[in-house]
């Protein structure tokens, strides 16, 4: 009756792991951007650092959006089985 349950559980866990990867990537980008902007004494380093930080925030936003969309889809599939 519930043959899709293990597959859906694995998919939901994979979605969480993907969110963690987005978070790690965004934190690395934000950290590198801050480091570049603060410690490299060149005008283009400030621009590059800010761009990296903004990119990191964008990566986080995309990751969160993707996670929420997929999580809602998995919840609908789970409830449609009942």
Q: What is the DSSP string of 34-72?
A: HHHHHH--SHHHHHHHHHHHHHHHHHHHHHHHHHHHHHH
Q: Give the max Cα distance, the chain.
A: 64
18 vs 12, 36, 59, 67, 79, CA distance in Å? 10, 27, 12, 8, 23
Low-confidence ranges of the chain (pLDDT < 50): none
Cβ 49 vs Cβ 38: under 8 Å: yes
CA pair distance 78, 47, nearest whole angstrom: 46
- Global confidence as pTM: 0.84
pLDDT score at 67: 97
pLDDT score at 82: 52
pLDDT score at 3: 66
């Amino acid at each position: 009756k519930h043959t899709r349950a293990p597959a859906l559980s694995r998919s939901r866990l994979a979605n969480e792991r993907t969110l963690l990867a987005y978070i790690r990537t965004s934190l690395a980008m934000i950290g590198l951007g801050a480091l570049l902007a603060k410690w490299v004494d060149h005008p283009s380093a400030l621009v590059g650092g800010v761009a990296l930080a903004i990119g990191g925030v964008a990566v986080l936003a995309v990751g969160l959006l993707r996670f929420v969309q997929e999580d809602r889809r998995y919840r609908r599939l789970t409830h449609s089985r009942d």
